[in-house]
Structure 1
Amino acid sequence: MAARILHRLRHALAGEGGREEPAGGGGEAEDCPESSELEDDTEGLSTRLSGTLSFTSHEDEEEEEEGDGASEELEEPPQAPGTAAGTEDGGRCWGEWVSAAERPGSSLLTRQLQELWRRSRGSVAPQRLLFEVTSASVVSERSSKYVLYTIYLIRSGQFDKAPATIARRYSDFEQLNRRLRCRFSCDMAGVAFPRKRLRRNFTAETIAKRSRAFEQFLSHLHSIDEIRRSPEFLEFFFLPDLQAAQRLTCTGMYREALATWANAYRLQDRLGVCSSGRFLLTLAGLAVCHQELDQLSEAHGYCEQALQLLEAQGSHPLLGPFLQAHVHLAWKVGKDKRRSEARLQDLREAGLPLQQQPSLKECLIKEPLE
């Protein structure tokens, strides 16, 4: 794109001055590769993602498909009002815009534009959480057949190298909808949910419509403050991962458990619940699995993160186990452990029997997750 714009500028300037470069002249044209300038399309990406869903009738679907197709086309470079490419009297051409910038007094306009550009680059765009169904697969078991929907949780305006994901079936969404309607009947009055079907549940059309409906359903729920903070809504996302990670840890499958704990960590981070008891348990799972896999620096880092969260709490069931694990890991990796040792001494003087307390791994295994 940049190469085409520069090419137009050169020809426009050459045409305005009445000069043409000779075909075999001594000067070589400067080649500017298109990859030399990248466009930031973050806003367009978030717009497309936020508009991927609608629950419409058959007549609306044709318009929706036309709109989706148009949004994916590449945009042409912006032109001045009244200007069309190739017209002679539709407005000022590229050469006239450039020559106007070279006239006396135009340096002020150039500086203003540069300052505006710097401010826009430095400003922080408001972020929101997007829910995108990235795939849906039909799963056949011995006595049942269902569709499993994979959903990404994405922050608008940034790229996630390791996105937070969940996989849920229709019955999971239906259970969430039923629980929320029992507790938040007024707030849920305006929230739409796809109804059950007696047939054609596994057609591509039904799966596509439900995918869009589930995205819209979760986005609507997340926009309501009371529901967004409710345990019913939050645990729909990360409780299954916590339960699976705990089972894997109990059976000694630490590498598999580590991936599940890490996804639960990302889910809670996207949902903004990084100070809850569930999040502390997640940090314990990550620390234990990294330690069992002999990745001591990573385990030490998660213990430090947990202790920062527990800084303002005088007592917590996981405080003693995290302090003891942190002291042990700090000694192993050669880090400072004096602060944790001092806090442990304060707990002893307060009468806490640290010798009888379970280890971090024992707390992790015994924690009831329902």
Structure 2
Amino acid sequence: MAFKLLQRFRGSTMKEPRGPGPPEEPPESAELVDDTEVLSVRLSGTLSLSEDSLGSDESDDTETRALKERHQRTLLTQQLREMWANAQQHPMPIRLTFEVTEANVVHDAHAKYVVYTIFVLLSGKYDASPACISCRYSDLERLRRRLRTHYPDEMSDVSFPRKRLHRNFTAETIAKRSRAFEQFLCHVSSIPVLRWSGHFLGFFYLHEMQNAQRLTRTGLYKLALPLWTNIWHLQEKLCPSGHCAHKLVALAGLVVCHQEMETLVEAQVYSEQAIRLLQETVAPNCPWLVPFLHAHIQLSWRVGKDKRDSETALQKLQEAGHPTENVASLKEILITETIS
């Protein structure tokens, strides 16, 4: 995607996503990877016809040409069927990919910098819920430094685009950097210990989660909801299975905002997801459990869904001595939670 930025690159003013940040540091030694040869390899795989199939000898009559064309179409159909059958037997593995889709030059009172929009996608399947982040070079470079500090061996072969003293805002430089950022994130996410680290996961949604909490705390639910939705989609891609420390926070944000905006069906669906996650991975004394059960029971009653399982779970907690009455509501826990 990054090479398209040479045509799509534009300078515009937008809100800074992560704060002003420190000034850029001297150049690093890592080199960018030029993938023009890779592009030609991709293009070489395009379906093409041989010279024999492009035409026939002028002496062939109409009937002979028609027979040849039908034969060629039959062969092509057989080939396509074989390719499809092979694809069904050996499906493409689903993996995490990153695409820089936009880059904008920002001017403010203190600095000039580039904000990159990076989409997080699942390749190998149709991704119905793409998610994205906005960041600048210093944000990504800070992530690299943190990972190198905590995982020096795993990060030893991970390259990163070096900084430049001049020509940082040319279309060519931004396009090359964009491609290098894609490669950097793909490489890091392919190493399990790095992909599951709090530094890597938090980079994608921690700042946005803090903004979403602040908007929710002040009652700006309509503005907070898109942030919570994007955060949840990021978490689904980054940690699709098992418990993630911030998944319950995102689900609480979705439930609260939908509930306050009276979109109760959506609120009930997210509360049900939270209950499943809690029952699978969290201990009974988790502070989120009882508030989510109360929210799920209330929402299920209001939209006409079955709430008996949650009522039974709440009763069992009460019998085991866990407090279930006069506890903080889901909204109260969400707005007071320390997100870090």
**CA apart distance, 1:77:** 4.7
Pair 1:154–1:99, CA change in 2 (3 A): closer
Pair 1:115–1:132, CA change in 2 (3 A): closer
Pair 1:117–1:325, CA change in 2 (3 A): same
- TM-score, normalization: structure 2? 0.79
- Please list, as runs of the form range in 1=range in 2, the aligned pairs for 1:10-29 lying within 5 A after superposition: none
Query: SS in structure 2 opposite 1:190?
Result: coil
- Please list, as runs of the form range in 1=range in 2, the aligned pairs for 1:1-370 lying within 5 A after superposition: 55-56=32-33, 64=36, 68=39, 75=46, 77-79=48-50, 83-86=52-55, 88=57, 95-96=67-68, 98=70, 116=82, 119-120=85-86, 122-123=88-89, 124-274=91-241, 275-312=243-280, 313-315=282-284, 316-370=286-340
CA contact (8 A) 2:32 2:160 kept: no
Query: SS in structure 1 opposite 2:187?
Result: helix
Partner of 2:19: none
Larger CA deviation: 308-317 vs 264-273: 308-317
**CA apart distance, 1:196:** 2.0
Pair 1:187–1:286, CA change in 2 (3 A): same
- Give, in whole Å, the separation in 1 of the partners of 2:65 and 2:290: 73
Question: How many corresponding residue pairs?
Answer: 303
Unaligned runs of 5+ in 2: 5-30, 59-63
Identity across the alignment (%): 46
Residue-by-residue CA offset, 1:9-47 (whole Å, 9 max, x unaligned): xxxxxxxxxxxxxxxxxxxxxxxxxxxxxxxxxxxx9xx
**CA apart distance, 1:256:** 1.2
CA contact (8 A) 2:196 2:239 kept: no
Ranked by relative contact order (alpha carbons within 8 Å, sequence separation 6 or more), the top structure is: 2
Residue-by-residue CA offset, 1:107-159 (whole Å, 9 max, x unaligned): xx999879746634644321221111001001112212211000011211334
- Give, in whole Å, the separation in 2 of the partners of 1:318 and 1:357: 10
Letter in 1 for 2:325: Q
**CA apart distance, 1:188:** 1.0
CA contact (8 A) 2:252 2:330 kept: yes
Larger CA deviation: 259-268 vs 199-208: 199-208
Pair 1:355–1:74, CA change in 2 (3 A): same
Larger CA deviation: 290-299 vs 197-206: 197-206
- Give, in whole Å, the separation in 2 of the partners of 1:142 and 1:115: 60
**CA apart distance, 1:203:** 1.6
- TM-score, normalization: structure 1? 0.73
Unaligned runs of 5+ in 1: 1-44, 49-53, 103-108
CA contact (8 A) 1:264 1:282 kept: yes
Pair 1:265–1:188, CA change in 2 (3 A): same
Residue-by-residue CA offset, 1:88-116 (whole Å, 9 max, x unaligned): 49xx98834845999xxxxxx99987974
Partner of 1:5: none
**CA apart distance, 1:258:** 0.7
Larger CA deviation: 221-230 vs 285-294: 221-230
